[in-house]
Structure 1
Amino acid sequence: MIKWRGIAFKLHPLFVLLMLLALAMGEWLGVVTLFGIVLLHELGHLAMALRFGWTIREVKLLPFGGVLEVEEAGTVPAKEEALVAIAGPAQNAWLAVAAYLAGLLGWVDTAWSHDFIKANALILLFNLLPIMPLDGGKLVQAWMSLRIPYHRVLLWSSRLSLFFSAAVVLYSFVPLLQGGVLQMNALAVGLFLCASNWTYRKNVPFVFLRFLVHRARRSEGRIDRGTLAQPIVVAEQRQPSDVVKLLMKERYHLVYVIKQGKVQKVVPEDQLVDRFLHTLTNGHADLRFFM
């Protein structure tokens, strides 16, 4: 582990395993190249996150990219999340272009340039799969958060991630049907993504709770700047635990409580969230409700 400006840089055990396997096969140049590509990919994410003032706890490098552990996860604007996500693949794009030009001008060996371009293209395209924590998964999640309530965003992104993670595992067996050998790299990565997203699915209630805890601070900022409120209309008997599931990440809400066709009261979302967190603290609500 290496620390820089309070940020820990770590190699994931899966990356270490694949690197050791490659070294055992004498592919040391490939290991160095892959490490450099992955590091630059993740530095793209890191630079953009720091530009937005995010607090980064850890950078974990994986064979296909990496993961930023940030304090603000799930609480920052969708636009920032999307830009941080796309900053990684953008590094692979310019690296591929640079390698192509270097090979064209004769500055590097053409075969090496071709392999380098192929590696960057593979990492770029793989990271755009709609799987958490890949960049494509984060982009899909940011896009969904502009259109549907955030609780539903978390549930659907976890379901999509599990589905496509399983598809990666199945893809690793395709060569066997064609008389080839099992794609061990794809199998290892696919199983890792399945396990990661199964854990993420179980942690949805806690991710949503963190979203609610930070909600009041973001709401105050919107009110100070002036914002159009999006109404949520509910019947009087609806519980706070039902209503908070209707909150959209990129909107400020006023909750209209209806009884017998008439508005009984209008509740700002801040009061709604405070009431729910109070009931949760006093043991009158259960996080399993958000599964």
Structure 2
Amino acid sequence: MTQPQIKSVQCLSPVGLHNMVYKEWGDPKNPKVLVCVHGVTRVSDDFDNLAAALCDEYRVVCPDIVGRGRSDWLRDPMHYVISQYLSDMVTLLARLDVETVDWVGTSMGGLIAIPFAAMPGNPIRKLVLNDVGPALDMTSLVTIADYIGHDLRWPTYDDAETYVRAISVPFGPHTDDEWQRLAKSVLRQLEDGQWTRHYDLRLAKPFRHAYFDDVIGSESTLWQQYDAITCPTLLLRGAQSGLLMAKTAQDMAQRGPRARVVELEGVGHAPTLMHEDQIAIVKDFLLD
């Protein structure tokens, strides 16, 4: 597999500076850029297969959103919100020095993209939303909020990997090697030898606040933003997704950018984009 470069960019929050690390694949001088943004507890490594498949066509850039993976943690966890992530992405695009980008956003990565793509003069040329939309199932959000805040620790790596596999069953069938990669990228070892998840557990508090304090208002705003998007949009939905309902996907196909909807059987939330059939769907849309 083609090896990426690991780079970083300095970003600003209301309480100071932080570094956001990103993986860059392909020719750094290629003006054709694809940005891939991961889900709430995931990392840039999730896109390794997709990036390797597209790096001959694109300069592929995959950040670890602040608080995850190789990136810094924020001093004030209440800034783990979409507006901060979007600000960081604008800083990253300025570093890349490009006029336009294509964007693949899985779950949270799509929620960052929706308000961005709605802004006048935004740089997004084509948009892929991976199992996410303006309306999300509340029961699933509650489950995610409970999951991400637990300070779970395991005595061995094998125990930690077993947990990641169990909690990630909705990703659909994967080989043992793929499961190992999916687990290894989101685990880290502590000084005492135990293993834990590779993100700032404090992001659970603003997550609950953002999604639960004004559910109706938040959904209304997201629909307004979605309706303002004009770029070609592809919506991937796991056919068994508990987060993105089929009715929402149907509505997204009929309003705003009128997304092209592709449902993936045997998958819940969210398609990992590791498999050739899923990669081909994204590649065909982006290169069409």
Instruction: Answer 1 or 2: which has greater strand percent.
Output: 2
Give the alignment's TM-score, normalised by structure 1.
0.28
Larger radius of gyration: 1
Instruction: Answer 1 or 2: which has greater helix percent.
Output: 1
Give the alignment's TM-score, normalised by structure 2.
0.28
